Amino acid sequence: MQLDDLLQRYFAATDLSQVSPDVLEAGLERCRVDLGLEQDRGKRFALWSFLYMFGSAPDLDVAFESVKDREAARNFMDLLAASQDESDE
């Protein structure tokens, strides 16, 4: 899954400055539905990560049955937080 493809799929634009708040919320809701329906672990992780970056991801215990997947998600969250801390310095 490519970021531009996800942006186009859920928001009908690759430039988020062109997306209205209503379109953004509708796209995030569609993404949450797709996450709930997706069976492929890699695609589920990609959708969850996408939602996480928008502050709309479900809790880890809801999104992932596997302990390994939850740990991978925690690592992803830690990496994003660390990169944010570095950019703040």
> What span, in angstroms and rounded, lies between the C-alpha atoms of 21 and 64?
28
pLDDT of 67: 96
> What span, in angstroms and rounded, lies between the C-alpha atoms of 75 and 38?
21
Tokens at 85, concatenated: 């801390």
21 pLDDT exceeds 90? yes
**Count of structural domains, the chain:** 1
Measured in whole angstroms, how far is the alpha carbon of residue 77 from the centre of its chain?
A: 11
Tokens at 55, concatenated: 């502050």
Residue 38 lies in domain: 3-88
pLDDT of 25: 97
85 pLDDT exceeds 90? no
Amino acid at position 7, single letter = L
Span 44-55, mean pLDDT? 96
Does the pTM surpass 0.75? The reply is: yes
